[in-house]
Copies of this chain bind each other. A is one copy, B any other.
Amino acid sequence: MKRIGMLTSGGDCQALNATMRGVVKGLHTMMGDVEIYGFEDGYKGLIYGKYRRMTGRDFSGILTRGGTILGTSRQPFKKMRTPDENGLDKVEAMKSTYKYLGLDCLVVLGGNGSQKSAHMLSEEGLNVVSLPKTIDNDLYGTDMTFGFQSAVDIATQAIDCIHTTAASHNRVFVVELMGHKVGWVTLHAGIAGGADIILIPEIPYNLNHVISAIQRRSEQGKGFTILAVAEGAISKEDAALSKKDYKAKLAGRKHSTVGYELASQIEAATGHEVRVTIPGHTQRGGSPVPFDRVISSRLGVTAAELIKNEDYGKMVIMKGYEIDTIPLAETAGKLKYVSPEDPIIRQAKNLGISFGD
C-alpha cells in the first residue's frame, strides 16, 4: 500500500481543497487503499513533523470550499538551506520526516517559490509530484494555474459594482488589484470589467498619459473613468530607479498603496473626484469558480496517475484545456510575465483600453 504525503504552500487560493480532493479521489479509485499524510501549514509541517493521517472522508465535501484544510505558510525558498533559529537543517529535517513516515511520494501544491523547494527535494532524492497553485497565473510551463480564474472573478465583480456607482456620479475610480510582480489578474479583470485604463507592473506607466486618457474621456462626454491598477504597478520614472532608490522613494511616499498615490495625483491634475477600492485578500477567498473546479479535479487526478505510474519529479500542467506534465527541472524558478508584445495587449489596446505607456 502506497503512502502519500501532501502539503499546500505559499499564499492560499481557491481550489486548493478541490485539487487535493482530486488527488485523493484518484488514488482511491485507481489504487484502492492508500495512506494519506497531510502536513500542516506547508513545508513547516514537513520540517517539524506536524502532520495528520487522513482518509477519503476528510476530502469529501470540500470541492467548493475555499482556503486549504491543511493550512499553509510562506517558507521562502532562499532560506531553505539556512538553518532555523535552533540550528535545525531544514532540508535534512524534511528528508527525515519523509523517511520516517516511509512515504512513496510527496505532493506539493504551490506557487513559484514552493515549486523551487519541490524541485530541490526532488533533487535530494524524494519522489515529488507538484501542482500549479496561484491566483497570479505566473508559473512558467503551464497555460493556466488553478485559483487564477476565481481571483479574476472576484476582482471583476468589484469592478462591476464600481461601474454602476461611477456612472451615477461622474467620478474616477481606482480599483487596486492583486499582483506585485505580474499583471495577469489585473489585465483579465480589467478587460472583463470594462476598465478604461489598466496599469500593470510589466508595462510601466507615464502619469501624463494616464491623465490625458482620463481627460480624453471627459471631453468625449464619458462621465467616468475606471482604472484597474495592479498593486505592483509602477511609473516609468520609478522603474528607471535603482532598487535602492526606489525603496527609499516608496518609504517617503505619502500614501500607503499605489492606488491611493495615483488617486491623489489624478485629483491634483484633473480636479475630478477620485475614489479607491481595494478588494485585497477577498481575491484569494471564497468558493472556486466552476472552471477552477474542473481543472483542479483534472490536475489532481493526474497527479494520482503519475503516482500510480511512479512517474515522479514532475509538475502537472495545463496545455490549453488539456492536462500535461513538465519536469520540475524545466519549470522551477521561472516566472511567466505579461509580455508587452503579447497579442492580448494589442487586443486590449484595440478595444480602446489605455495602459498609460
Name the one of B168, B276, B304 contacting A350, with C-beta atoms under 8 angstroms. B304
- Given the interface pairs A163-B285, A290-B149, the reply to whether A12 lies near B350 with Cβ below 8 Å is no
Q: Which residues of B contact A293 (CB under 8 A)?
A: 156, 191-193
Q: Are A286 and B25 interface neighbours, CB within 8 A?
A: no
Q: Which residues of A contact B (CB under 8 A)?
A: 8, 12, 14, 16, 22, 25-26, 28-30, 41, 61, 63-68, 71-73, 143-144, 149, 152-154, 156-158, 160-170, 173, 188-189, 191-194, 223, 255-256, 260, 275-286, 289-291, 293-294, 297-298, 301-302, 304-305, 319-323, 343-344, 347, 349-352
CA distance in complex: A189, B81 (Å)? 44
Interface of A is mostly: helix
Q: Are B188 and A298 interface neighbours, CB within 8 A?
A: no
Q: Which residues of B contact A278 (CB under 8 A)?
A: 276-278, 280
Give the shortest distance, in Å, between A31 (CB) and chain B (any CB). 10
Q: Which residues of B contact A319 (CB under 8 A)?
A: 320
- Chain B residue at smallest Cβ distance from A222: B60
Q: Are B158 and A279 interface neighbours, CB within 8 A?
A: yes
CA distance in complex: A167, B276 (Å)? 27
Q: Are A144 and B301 interface neighbours, CB within 8 A?
A: no
Give the shortest distance, in Å, between A17 (CB) and chain B (any CB). 9
Q: Which residues of B contact A61 (CB under 8 A)?
A: 167
Q: Are B277 and A281 interface neighbours, CB within 8 A?
A: yes
- Chain B residue at smallest Cβ distance from A173: B281
CA distance in complex: A148, B41 (Å)? 37
Q: A152-B294, A191-B298 are in contact. List 19 more A-B contacts (CB 8 A).
A: A28-B352, A29-B349, A72-B169, A143-B321, A154-B161, A156-B293, A161-B283, A161-B286, A162-B281, A192-B294, A193-B290, A256-B256, A277-B279, A277-B280, A279-B279, A297-B347, A298-B344, A301-B351, A319-B320
